[in-house]
Structure 1
Amino acid sequence: MLSGMIDRVEQAKALASDVRLLILGWLKDPAAHFSHQVTGDPAEIGVCVTLLTAKLGMSQPTVSRHLEILRRAGFLRVRKIGRWSFFARDEAALSDYKDWLRDTL
């Protein structure tokens, strides 16, 4: 049970950031926010780190760190195409966390 709680604590920590909440919000409807992605449909392959970096106005290492925290929490999936990384929400994991939160609190 304790290891499950640690996972949930890490998930809560991942959501304790305005930047990470923005990222999750944008990725909820990637076509609305990243329709200019030329590599492929952002709803199908995810959104390229470079577009997230530009939209946030932050350095690429900083954005990559935020994305990695969300990925480790299970909230994002990453797809590599060539040397590029594309990120998408993991809706099942987000739904599971919301259910756990609702049932626990």
Structure 2
Amino acid sequence: MQEVDVLKALANERRLQILEWLKNPRAHFRAQADGDLVEDGVCALLIAEKLGITPATLSEHMRVLSHAGLVRSKRIKQWVFYRRDDDRIGAVKALLHETL
């Protein structure tokens, strides 16, 4: 586990907001044409739209979260969908609890 990468990922308000929304995607995002919000994840375009940022800016946020292992991506057609990696997030919480 790269603790530095995790801390960098969590040190941004927008990335924390994304993780919060992905906890319960049906409550925070409208239905998608492709993919199930829970099983497949949320389309990157919907996340960018909700944050009010460009897809390119969202891509950088998701790259950081993915690199830290906090989200998983899945490609369906030409779209990328993201969902939380709750096992990894649980391990990060345990590590932080032990360390702090």
Residue in 2 aligned with 1:38?
Answer: 33
1:54 CA displacement: 0.5
Asked if the contact 2:31/2:37 (under 8 Å) is kept, the reply is: no
Over the residues paired in the alignment, what is the CA RMSD in angstroms? 0.9
Q: Flag the structure with larger Rg.
A: 1
Matches within 5 A, 1:53-64: 53-64=48-59
Q: Which amino acid aligns with 1:90?
A: D
Residue in 1 aligned with 2:91?
Answer: 96
Gaps of 5+ in 1: none
Residue in 2 aligned with 1:14?
Answer: 9
Percent of aligned pairs sharing the same letter: 43
Deviations 1:21-73 (A, max 9, x none): 00000000011111422213201110000100110110110011001100000
Residue in 2 aligned with 1:68?
Answer: 63
More helix by share: 1
Distance in structure 2 (CA, Å) of the matches to 1:53 and 1:101: 29
Distance in structure 1 (CA, Å) of the matches to 2:36 and 2:55: 22
Asked if the contact 2:69/2:88 (under 8 Å) is kept, the reply is: yes
Helix, strand or coil at the partner of 1:44: coil
Asked if the contact 1:14/1:69 (under 8 Å) is kept, the reply is: yes
Q: Which amino acid aligns with 1:70?
A: L
Asked if the contact 1:53/1:59 (under 8 Å) is kept, the reply is: yes
Gaps of 5+ in 2: none
